[in-house]
Amino acid sequence: MQDTAPVYRFVDERLGIELKSADAATELASLGVDSLSLLELMFEIEEKFGVTVDQDAAPPRKCGELVALIENIAAGKP
């Protein structure tokens, strides 16, 4: 997956967060995104974009960590 723009649009659609412009240090929980929301989001990204998210990786807690996760997925990194 080369183009991550559709993923960010999807995240915005599902969570109401413009990740690219959000402060990297912002806690996802403060935006109403809890562990269940993230679990569902990862599943949806896998299904929609045909990628695999490392189930053993620590779940992102901040906006910047979620951006890094998406960029890693796009780069084919585990």
Q: Are 45 and 53 in contact (CB under 8 A)?
A: yes
Task: Identify the DSSP state of 22.
Answer: S
At residue 27, the 3 state secondary structure works out as strand
User: Which stretch, 1-9, 18-26, 31-39, 61-69, contacts another protein (CB under 8 A)?
Assistant: 31-39
Question: Can residue 32 be called a binding residue for another protein (CB under 8 A)?
Answer: yes
User: Which stretch, 2-10, 18-26, 34-42, 61-69, contacts another protein (CB under 8 A)?
Assistant: 34-42
Q: Which of 10, 22, 26, 31 binds another protein (CB under 8 A)?
A: 31
Residue 68 C-beta: closest distance to another protein, Å? 19
Distance CA 55, CA 8 (A): 20
